[in-house]
């Protein structure tokens, strides 16, 4: 997607109602006048490529222009993706069936492609499982996904009818949490989001890592809680932020299980880092990727890769010392990056 098309998409989806809602939220949180906030939001859009939600997500009302310029904002993120990801290859990340085939050495589980697998193979898969995780082909953030118990189906034919009529793209083995992660939240695969970029030196770099946990009894970790971990030790560094990044909340303990978060050490983090740096070079045409990595009892496995990385949840208030975003780190790795300022 070109810069122009990306900007047009954002402007098309822009809403004066949402803009005014952001103004109201910023006014309530900061005490600044609404007239000042409106002008300041437009200032941040013009000079730092910030979307209006960025203004409250990153609490730009509390930051100086010098600090604001260190953030990978919405339009800057679009620039990064457009410059470093070849869109003739990104379908291999967007489509879960294709992704599982390309990265089969890293996903650590058996899967069924519902578009190409014969019925007999699907039925055999059903008989060899107690639980099956079913995913839609091209939906993200866990949308449409279901955890299916084979005992809940009267027969294999009933199962086949259900998954075909639902239109699932893949059937996958259920990924089990490492016991340490299950203690924090047991109902979803609690994934690391590991952001890699192939630098101007031609080498893969781990730019950032965030540990996510599910919440509220949900079976996916999307819109749970999350926080950055140290890139050498895998230790949870700061209070967790909610998955809805516009919220102004922080958690030192998991809000569902009350498990302490700060200081939690991600198991097999070294192995996860080594794995993801290798995976980053499988498709070097897509240089900038956000990977979801589950830590199982025996080690790390890749759940999926995202060529459109969320730019917000790895540079959030309470997790960014000195109010400094990721741009200084990013520019050291890809000094060729040309962005809005």
User: Same domain, yes or no, for 264 and 168?
Assistant: no
User: Same domain, yes or no, for 140 and 231?
Assistant: no
Query: Is 273 domain-assigned?
Result: yes
User: Same domain, yes or no, for 118 and 48?
Assistant: no
Query: Is 104 domain-assigned?
Result: no
Strand order in the sheet with 225-228: 241-242, 225-228, 204-213, 191-198, 288-296, 299-306
User: Same domain, yes or no, for 216 and 136?
Assistant: no
Q: Give the CA dihedral 241, 247, 253, 259, nearest 10 degrees.
A: -80
How large is the angle between the packed helices 74-84 and 3-13, nearest 10 degrees? 150
User: Same domain, yes or no, for 299 and 182?
Assistant: yes
Query: Is 327 domain-assigned?
Result: no
Distance of CA 332 to the CA centre of its chain: 23
How high is the pLDDT of residue 1? 47
Query: Is 337 domain-assigned?
Result: no
Give per-residue pLDDT as tens, 67-101.
999 999 999 999 999 999 999 999 999 888 899 89
How high is the pLDDT of residue 15? 77
Q: How many domains does the chain contain in total?
A: 3
Q: Provide the whole-model pTM.
A: 0.87
Query: Is 230 domain-assigned?
Result: yes
d(CA 313, CA 114): 33
d(CA 106, CA 100): 9
Count the neighbouring beta carbons within 10 Å of the beta carbon of residue 68.
22
pLDDT < 70 positions in the chain: 1-14, 138-142
User: Same domain, yes or no, for 186 and 295?
Assistant: yes
Count, in order, helices (H) and strands (E) of the chain: 14, 10
User: Same domain, yes or no, for 166 and 185?
Assistant: no
How high is the pLDDT of residue 303? 93
User: Same domain, yes or no, for 149 and 185?
Assistant: no
- Give 238's contacts (C-beta < 8 A, 6+ positions apart): 227, 228, 262, 318, 319
User: Same domain, yes or no, for 231 and 294?
Assistant: yes
Query: Is 37 domain-assigned?
Result: yes
Query: Is 232 domain-assigned?
Result: yes
User: Same domain, yes or no, for 246 and 265?
Assistant: yes
d(CA 194, CA 181): 16
Query: Is 58 domain-assigned?
Result: yes
Query: Under a CB-based contact definition with an 8 Å cutoff, are residues 264 and 150 in contact?
Result: no
- Give start and end residues of each alpha helix (H) in 141-210: 156-166, 179-184
d(CA 7, CA 16): 16
CATH number for the domain spanning 253: value is 3.30.470
d(CA 275, CA 268): 11
User: Same domain, yes or no, for 206 and 300?
Assistant: yes
- Give start and end residues of each alpha helix (H) in the chain: 3-13, 16-30, 34-48, 52-57, 65-68, 74-84, 91-94, 96-102, 104-107, 119-127, 156-166, 179-184, 269-279, 327-333
How high is the pLDDT of residue 231? 97
Q: Is 286 helix (H, G, I), strand (E, B) or coil?
A: strand
CATH number for the domain spanning 123: value is 3.30.1490.20
Buried (b) or exposed (e) across 247-256, using 16+ Cβ within 10 A?
eeebbeebbb
User: Same domain, yes or no, for 33 and 73?
Assistant: yes
Q: Long-range contacts made by residues 273-276, C-beta under 8 angstroms, separation at least 24?
A: 273/194, 273/206, 273/209, 273/231, 275/106, 275/300, 275/302, 276/194, 276/196, 276/206, 276/300, 276/302
Which residue range forms the structural domain that includes residue 25? 3-84
């Amino acid at each position: 997607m070109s810069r122009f098309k990306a900007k047009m998409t954002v402007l098309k989806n822009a809403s004066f109602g949402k803009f005014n809602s952001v103004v109201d939220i910023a006014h309530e949180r900061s005490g600044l006048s609404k007239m000042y906030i409106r002008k300041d939001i437009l200032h941040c859009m013009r000079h730092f490529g910030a979307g209006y939600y960025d203004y409250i997500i990153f609490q730009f009302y509390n930051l100086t222009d010098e600090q604001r310029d260190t953030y990978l904002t919405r339009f800057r993120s679009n620039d990064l993706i457009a410059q470093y990801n070849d869109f003739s290859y990104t379908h291999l990340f967007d489509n879960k069936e294709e992704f599982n085939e390309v990265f089969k050495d890293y996903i650590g589980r058996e899967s069924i492609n519902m578009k190409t697998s014969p019925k007999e193979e699907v039925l055999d898969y059903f008989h060899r499982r107690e639980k099956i995780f079913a995913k839609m082909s091209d939906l993200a953030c866990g949308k449409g996904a279901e955890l299916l118990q084979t005992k809940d189906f009267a027969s294999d034919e009933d199962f086949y009818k259900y998954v075909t009529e639902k239109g699932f793209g893949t059937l996958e083995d259920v990924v089990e949490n490492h016991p340490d992660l299950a203690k924090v939240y047991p109902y979803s695969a609690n994934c690391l989001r590991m952001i890699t970029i192939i630098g101007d030196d031609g080498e893969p770099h781990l730019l950032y890592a965030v540990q996510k946990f599910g919440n509220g009894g949900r079976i996916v970790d999307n819109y749970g809680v999350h926080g950055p971990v140290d890139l050498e030790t895998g230790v949870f560094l700061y209070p967790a932020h909610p998955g809805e990044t516009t919220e102004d909340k922080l958690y030192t303990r998991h809000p569902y299980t009350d498990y302490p978060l700060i200081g939690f050490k991600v198991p097999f983090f070294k192995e996860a880092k080594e794995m993801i740096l290798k995976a980053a070079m499988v498709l070097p045409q897509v240089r900038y990727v956000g990977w979801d990595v589950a830590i199982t009892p025996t080690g790390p496995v890749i759940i999926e890769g995202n060529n459109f990385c969320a730019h917000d949840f790895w540079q959030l208030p309470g997790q960014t010392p000195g109010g400094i975003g990721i741009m200084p780190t990013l520019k050291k790795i890809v000094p060729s990056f040309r962005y809005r300022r």
